[in-house]
Structure formats: C-alpha cells, structure tokens
Amino acid sequence: MADVRGHVVELQDINEDDLVVKEPKGSAAGLKAVGVSFERGLKQGGVSRTVRSMYRINQHQGVDCPGCAWPESITGDRKPIEFCENGAKALAEENTTRVATPEWWAAHSISELRDKTEYWLGQSGRITHPMMIREGETHYRPVSWSEAFTTIAEHVQATTPDRCTFYTSGRTPNETAFMYQLFARSLGTNNLPDCSNMCHESSGTALNPTIGIGKGTVSLEDLEHSELVFVVGQNPGTNHPRMLGSLAECRRNGGKVVAVNPLPEAGLLRFKDPQTPKGLLADGERISDEFLQIKVGGDQALFQALGHLLLQKEAAAPGTVIDQEFIESETAGFAEYAAAREHLDWAEIETATGLQRAEIEHIGDLLAASKATIFCWALGITQQPHSVDTIKEIVNLLLVQGNFGKPGAGACPVRGHSNVQGDRTFGIWEKPTEDLLQRIDAEFGITSPREHGYDSTESMIEMAKGEIDVFVSLGGNLALANSDTAYMEAGLQRTGLTVHISTKPNRSHVVHGKTSIILPTLGRTDRDDKHPGGSQFLTVENSMSVVSSTRGRLEPVSDHLLAEPVIIARMAEAVLGPDHAVDWKAMAEDYDVIRDHCSRVIPGTEDFNRRVREKYGFVLPNPPRDRRQFATQQGKGQFTVRALEYLDPPEGHLVLQTMRSHDQYNTTFYGLDDRYRGISGGRRVILIHPEDLAASGFADRELVDVVSSFAGEELRADRFRLVSYPTARGCVAAYYPEANALVHRDLVARESNTPGFKAIMVRFERRADGMENREEVSSLIESV
Ligand SMILES: Nc1nc2c(c(=O)[nH]1)N[C@H]1C(S)=C(S)[C@@H](COP(=O)(O)OP(=O)(O)OC[C@H]3O[C@@H](n4cnc5c(=O)[nH]c(N)nc54)[C@H](O)[C@@H]3O)O[C@H]1N2
Ligand SMILES: Nc1nc2c(c(=O)[nH]1)N[C@H]1C(S)=C(S)[C@@H](COP(=O)(O)OP(=O)(O)OC[C@H]3O[C@@H](n4cnc5c(=O)[nH]c(N)nc54)[C@H](O)[C@@H]3O)O[C@H]1N2
Ligand SMILES: [Mo]
C-alpha cells in the first residue's frame, strides 16, 4: 500500500511466536519515553506534522490531546510541552500520512480483511472516501456523501426508532455529542449506548445516589496538595502518564501515595519526569509510599476493613479521626454504617484481599492521620460484578472523614477517553433525566421519548436477537471493545444497516451489517475550515470538569472528509426531512450556534461561547466540591451498607483480568511493545504467578487454550502463552481485546451493567503443539 505521497508502506502483522519477555521495569517515563514519542510520529507522519501537532497539544488555543482525559493546570503556566509518550503516539496514529483509499479497499475483499489482525488494519491509515457495501458484495466501494445519507434515511424510515441504536465512543467532542443525542431523540429513541457503559458507568451509578453527581469532586490542585492519595485499580504510567507528574508533585509537597493493584505496575513505583532534565536522566522519583498487592476483586473487602479501623480508632480517641460535625450536618445513614462496620471477620478480609491484617492496619493508621484524602480509581474497580458496591464503600470512607468540599480531598474517578465525561454532560445517555428531556424539548420544540434506551451490552444482545435494524457508531469499535466477541460480531452481521463514522479501518467495519457504510471524518488534529464563517473549533470536558476548546490545524489527508457535526447534520436532515423543527444546517455551519443551544439546555454551560474563549476555558459546577452540597434524594451525602463480596473462582480456575498494554489505545495498536511490563513482540499472553504456574502443571511459555466459565457456559480463546509474572496469587492477566472472547455477555456489574472485564473465571487446556517453539520464544533478563 502507499501513503499520500505515494511512498510504499509495508504493513506488519503479529506473530505471537515473536514474543520476548524481559524483567518488568521499576520506573516509568524518562528519556526513553521521549524518544519513543518522536520515533512513532516520524514513522507515521513525517517530521513537520509530528512536531507541529506535538507542540500545540493541550496549549491555549491548541488541540486537546486525544489520548486520555487527565487535566492540565488551569491556574499556573503550562509547560512548553504538555504531552506524554502515549499522547504523542495517539497523535501520530491520527496524523499518519498513510491512507486507506478506494483502491486499497478494492484490493482487499471482506473475507481477506476478516482474517487480518486489528494491528494490520489500523496501520492501513486514514480512510479517504465514504464507502459502502451491500449484501452479497465482496468489497467496499466508494459512494457519494449524498448516496450514503439517502441510504441511511431509507433504512431508518423503513423501521421504527426503537429498532435503531446510536453508539458513541468517548473521543466525540461536546458539540458533536449534543447534536447526535438531539438527532436520536428527535427520531424518537433513547438508544444512546456509549463507551462509558463499558468503562466508568459503575462510578456514575455509585456516585449519583450517594453524592448527587456522577463525577469526581477534585481539581488538579487538590491532588497536588493532598495529604494522602489512594491510586486504586489504575495503571497511570501507561494510561494517564501525566498523572504521574501530579502524584510526584503531591509527594514533594509532603503527601503520601498508596497504590492498590494486583500488578506491580512500573508507573506506580517510580517516575522519571520527562518535562525536567533531572527527571530524564536520574533514577526517578518514588511514586507510591505503600503498595498493596491486592487480589483482583478484593477492594470492597479492603475498604470495609479500613472503615472498621477508622471507627475503632475514633472510639479509642474520640474526636480525632472522623468528622462528627460534617457527618451530623451533611450526611445520612451513618448510624447504620457504623453498626455494620462494628465487627469485622479478619480471616475473610485476608482471604478476599490476599493481604495481611498488619498491612491493612498500617494503611488504616495513615488514613486515620490524614486530614485530606483523595481516592483515585479506574477500571480495576469499575469492571467487577460488585463494582458499584465497592465504589459506594469508597464514598463511605470519604464521608466519614468529611473529605468533600475541602482542599486536597475528594473522589477522583480517573476517566478514560479524552471526552467521555463531556459526552455524558452533553446528553449522551440511554437513561436521561426528565429534567434534561424537558430542557431539550423546550429549546427545540420537539417531544423526546421518555422510555429509557439500550446501553452497549443491551444493544449487543438486541442486535444478536435480530431486534435492531440500524446501528450507527460515532467513532469506536464495538466489535472488539464489547464483551463476548463472537456473539457481538454475530449481532453486527445480523443488523440490516451498520454505519461507522470513523477515521481508520477497524474490525467493526469488516464484521458489518447486511448493508454497511463507512463515513470518514476529520480527526481532532485536522483543520476544520470549510464553513461560511471560516475555521471552527470544538470543546471537550476533562476528568476534572474543565471545559476547554480544541482546534486542529493540520491539512486533512483527503478532500473528501467531513467534520463530525456536518455528518450528523446531514444525516439528520436526510432522515428527518427538510421541515424538521431543528435547524441542523445552522449548527453545522457555525459551531457557536450549537454552543448557544447547549448554553440553554445543559446546566453550567451558560454563556458558553464567551467563557470557553477565556484562556483555559471554564469549570462546570460541582456542588459537593464547591459547596459541600449533595443533590441526593435526602439532600445529604448518603452512607450505604452493602454485603461483602469478592471473587471466589470455582475449583481449578483462576481469576483473569484484562488490561491495556503500553502500546495500544483501546482497540488500536501502536505497536507490540508493552515496555514497562517487559512483554514485546506478541500479545496473546497470560501473565501468571510462578507458584500458580507450578501448581497448574504447565510450563513457562507453554502455549495453551483458555476456557472461561460463566453461569454453566464455557467460552474459549485459543493459543495464549503462559508467562511467569509477579502478579497477585490466583489472579492472571491478559490483554484487551484479545481476551474479550472469554467474557460472557451476562457477566456484568450489578446496577451499572458494565461488563466484568476484570472478573473472568478461567482454566487452561493443554495443546498438542503447546511446547513447540517454546525455546524460540526468548526470555531476556535486562536490569532495570
Ligand atoms: N495509552 C493509553 N491510554 C489510555 C487508554 C489506552 O488504551 N492507552 N485507554 C483510555 C481509556 S478508555 C480508559 S477507560 C483508561 C483506562 O485506564 P486503566 O484503568 O489504568 O486501564 P487498564 O489497562 O484496564 O488497567 C487497569 C488496572 O487495574 C488493575 N486491576 C485489575 N483488576 C483489579 C482489581 O480487582 N483491583 C485493583 N485494585 N486493581 C485491579 C490492573 O492491574 C491495571 O493496573 O485509560 C485511558 N487512557
Ligand atoms: N476486555 C476489556 N474490554 C474493554 C475494556 C477493558 O478494560 N477490557 N475497556 C472498555 C473501555 S474502558 C472502553 S472506553 C471501550 C472502548 O471502546 P471504543 O471507544 O468503542 O473503542 P476505541 O478502540 O477507543 O475506538 C477506536 C476507533 O475509533 C475511531 N476513531 C478514532 N478517532 C476518531 C475520531 O476523532 N472520530 C471518529 N468518528 N472516530 C474516531 C477509529 O476508527 C478507531 O478504530 O472498550 C471497553 N472494552
Ligand atoms: Mo474507557
């Protein structure tokens, strides 16, 4: 294949027998990270595109990094380069000059593309033209934009709104999200699943009824000035690298950091700050003061034990540990909570967590002594059957010491996709509040449906049952992102029409509906200036509720790309007809018009257009943080009591968690080097504790088939290599999305319905060729 300049590009593929295993690293970032950032950019896009985009990242009037949702400072000055290795890789991936042109699609049949790996597909570059394939055809072929929209309209008009579902991936900016939900609701459905359903849904589900808001309650400054920060179920060295700078800053200010994780992740141990010369060259700074190597799924037990310890210490020295005044005036349910925590079965806590009582008591001492504590968490906590209960237990710990609405304290769910939080704020939700619907209806003169819609798992199940006729995907790659891969793919293929608004080819395009359309869009770094009023910008909300602008400046790789708001407006016009109450065209022409509508519909965005043009944008209101106010049913911070739960694998099984490597963005692969964990050259691995490996009777590097069990059913994934690794006992780890085939569709978190991506019960089966090539799979021990 070729890039835009006609240079020949060879696409690499993955062969798991190229696997190399080294000693895991003891620190994250440093000089190597800077080197890798530039190397990847140069490989994909050439020198000037890389340097230009890196320099503008996260700057005033620049582009918001498409990597993660970690915030930048809105008080002090920003560093000249506010980026990290993985942000740079995300940029390089989007800025590539490689192109998947109509000739590329003509050269590869669908059956050939189905056999390719996701890594291979992604490397083919940016999609340049709208493409379509109909039932019986073997190849995608180019179509005009108008034919694409007419085809979508025909399919939508031929069915009922409840048989259409509209998925959103979290890179979608605020304005686009707002238009998209307005389109779905104008049509008559709340079927608005999003990646949040698979991600932090458990956080919102736990936080809304207990603190009255589904988001975090801290600012970056709080984190840097906290006395004690817990980092639970999170791998910031890879997934939120700039967070390491804030944790290091917190420690320099005298704070302590406690990491809770089944894996000794490099970024949790030490950090070499790539923004400073000393950080680049020296050994790096320590990140965690304490590391609790917990068993997967054991966190609720840990938090219950910590609650018990706090109450015991308070009883021994009244008035020293808990915040009695706050509890009395601002919370409800404390008496029940205190009663439930009075007794603790330490033996069960040790079984559930895999930790020693003394270790937990030591952390209890730190927590009791801290006057300002923050709990940060991510997917290690949200993707368990009992995730919602675990997060409510975190809220209990915060409430008991009054850790809301004071400096250095609060809840910090660390969000994933760069705008996943904003998408929800701007209306993407299958369970909208009545208040939101009333505001939308009043602004636009439409009648939104009241019935709740499908989330991502429900959409998958309805597709597989043949109950969905139209599936539209605004970004994302649900075929691989969702659980139960074979079931998910069968669902997509059963659907009448699948539409993907995408930047690059992915698996969802090749396991498509009977008719399938790919609509290629401008990415975040691309210039968006084909408007009567000239160049436009969009906005995003980060993990700490800051709304700011993002403006791309690079020359798009093709003249045929449309901006996402334009695509949605034209789709809505085609489907809803020219007389529809909403003026879609006005919004697509001038994004200020969208923001004006938002400012009247979305609370906290009043005067949007003026405020977002201020230097670093504006912060959305957050009652628990701003005023110690809790908009819950009782108007108080709500203590909750939930029965203890943890993962108890059936005989002969281990608990499997799935995670990201250092060289991927969700279902997109940048390369095959999980550098900090020392795994490179292949991804089909199972990390297993040496003693569990010995007990299992298999050899290190042996090739096995993996079988998962759920509710009496088994799912399989073949050809994984076992790799001896210092994970917690009884808990193995594999990469997402390779292991998604093992996640049964009904394995979900209660209440939030988030897939149990970190709670899979597995066993291994011997293969006839299991020991073949075992010696060739090399093992190098490199000093750290
Ligand atoms: N470079 C890069 N950045 C990203 C992404 C990416 O793919 N690449 N993805 C983005 C997205 S969408 C998201 S949501 C975030 C995800 O950010 P993370 O939540 O950091 O992502 P995971 O790789 O799933 O890592 C989960 C961590 O939880 C630990 N863990 C697993 N089970 C348990 C448990 O039961 N208890 C505890 N205490 N820990 C557990 C794992 O060992 C691992 O360290 O990152 C975002 N940023
Ligand atoms: N086993 C397991 N499964 C998981 C997880 C896990 O931890 N374990 N994590 C879950 C989580 S947290 C998440 S968030 C989901 C992620 O699920 P998704 O958000 O659905 O997946 P992504 O891989 O982020 O989507 C990548 C695709 O987005 C498109 N894209 C990229 N940039 C743009 C853009 O600017 N505009 C548009 N329109 N398209 C763009 C590209 O075509 C690319 O192929 O996966 C979930 N799945
Ligand atoms: Mo996510």
Query: Minimal CA–CA distance to 271: which of 259, 258, 292, 287?
Result: 287
Write the pLDDT tens digit of every residue in 396-438.
999 999 999 999 999 999 999 989 999 999 999 999 999 999 9
> Which residue owns the Cα nearest ligand 2 atom 32?
503
Position with higher pLDDT, 773 vs 778:
773
757 lines ligand 2 (CB under 6 A): yes
Instruction: Mark which of 414, 441, 460 sits at the end of a domain.
Output: 414
Asked if the model's pLDDT at residue 63 lies above 50, the reply is yes
Atom 39 of ligand 1 has which residue's CA nearest to it?
Answer: 233
User: What is the dihedral sign for C-alpha 138, 139, 144, 148?
Assistant: positive
237 and 358 together in one domain: yes
- Distance (Å) from CA 191 to ligand 2 centroid: 18
User: Which residues line ligand 1 at a C-beta cut-off of 6 Å?
Assistant: 67-68, 86, 199, 232-235, 238-239, 260-263, 265, 294, 296-297, 299, 378-380, 384, 416-417, 657, 659-660, 664-666, 758
pLDDT digits (tens, 9 = 90+) for 636-649: 999 999 999 999 99
CATH of the domain at 326: 3.40.228.10
List of residues 6+ apart from 231 with CB closer than 8 A: 247, 257, 258, 259, 260, 261, 268, 288, 376, 377
**d(CA 502, ligand 2 centre) in Å:** 11
The whole-number pLDDT of residue 255 equals: 98
Mean pLDDT of 292-301: 98
Note whether 99 and 557 are within 8 A (CB).
Answer: yes
Give the SS3 label for residue 716. strand
Is 424 part of any domain? Answer: yes
Q: What is the whole-number distance in angstroms between the Cα of residue 485 and the centre of ligand 3?
A: 17
Give the distance (Å) from ligand 3 centre to CA of residue 381.
Answer: 12
**C-alpha 542 – ligand 3 centre gap (Å):** 13
Q: Tell me: do 261 and 190 sit in the same domain.
A: no
Which numbered atom of ligand 2 lies nearest the CA of 94?
Answer: 32
Taking the CA of residue 238 as reference, the ligand 1 atom at the shortest distance is 1
Closest ligand 2 atom, residue 477 Cα: 20
- Of all protein residues, whose CA lies closest to atom 38 belonging to ligand 1? 233
Flag whether 97 is in a domain. Answer: no
Task: Output the pLDDT for position 317.
Answer: 97
Q: Is residue 633 part of a domain?
A: no
Please work out whether the CB of residue 506 comes within 6 Å of at least one atom of ligand 2. Answer: yes
pLDDT at 195 over 70: yes
Q: Are residues 499 and 350 in the same domain?
A: no
> Based on the domain organization, do 234 and 261 belong to the same domain?
yes
% pLDDT > 70, the chain: 94
Predicted pLDDT of residue 276? 67
Q: How many CB atoms lie within 10 A of CB 104?
A: 18
Q: Select from 414, 440, 464 the last residue of a domain.
A: 414
Query: 759 and 730, same structural domain?
Result: yes
pTM of the model: 0.96
Give the closest residue (by CA) to ligand 2 atom 47.
481
* CATH code of the domain covering residue 767: 2.40.40.20
Residue 350: partners with Cβ closer than 8 Å, 6 or more residues away? 356, 357
- Ligand 1 atom closest to 417 (CA): 12
The CA 346 to ligand 3 mean position distance, Å, reads: 34
For residue 132, tell me if it sits in a domain. yes
Query: Where a domain ends, among 593, 618, 640?
Result: 593
In ligand 2, which atom is closest to the CA atom of 758?
Answer: 8
Q: Tell me the best of 44, 424, 666 to mutate to test the pocket of ligand 2, counting ligand atoms within 8 Å of each CB and taking the most.
A: 666
Residue 192, domain CATH? 3.40.50.740
Same domain, 209 and 308: yes
Cβ(171) – ligand 2 distance below 6 Å:
yes
> Per the structure, how many domains does the chain have?
3
Are 152 and 571 a contacting pair, CB within 8 Å? Answer: yes
> DSSP label at 629?
-
| Shortest-distance Cα residue to atom 4 of ligand 2 | 481
Decide if pLDDT at 6 tops 90: no
Domain span holding position 147: 128-197+419-528+558-593
Q: Are 707 and 740 found together in one domain? A: yes
Q: What is the pLDDT of residues 449-476, one digit of tens each?
A: 999 999 999 999 999 999 999 999 999 9
How close is the Cα of 265 to the center of ligand 2, in Å? 23
Does residue 603 form part of some domain? no
Same domain, 771 and 678: yes
Q: Biggest alpha carbon distance in the chain?
A: 76
Residues 184 and 232 reside in one and the same domain: no
**In this structure, is residue 102 part of a structural domain?**
no
Which of 230, 379, 482 to mutate to test ligand 1, by most ligand atoms within 8 A of the CB atom? Answer: 379
Q: Is the CB of 508 under 6 A from ligand 2?
A: no
Same domain, 752 and 688: yes
- Same structural domain, 309 and 433: no
Lowest-confidence region among 18-32, 169-183, 711-725 = 18-32
Distance CA 17, CA 729 (A): 26
Q: Does residue 711 sit within a domain? A: yes
Tell me what pLDDT residue 282 has: 63
CA 232 to centroid of ligand 1, rounded, Å: 10
Ligand showing the shortest atom-to-Cα distance for residue 296: 1
* Closest residue CA from atom 20 of ligand 2: 476
Residue 481: φ, ψ to 5°:
-75, -35
Tell whether 630 is covered by a domain.
no
Burial of 79 (0-12, 13-18, 19+ CB in 10 A): middle
Residues 252 and 206 in one domain: yes
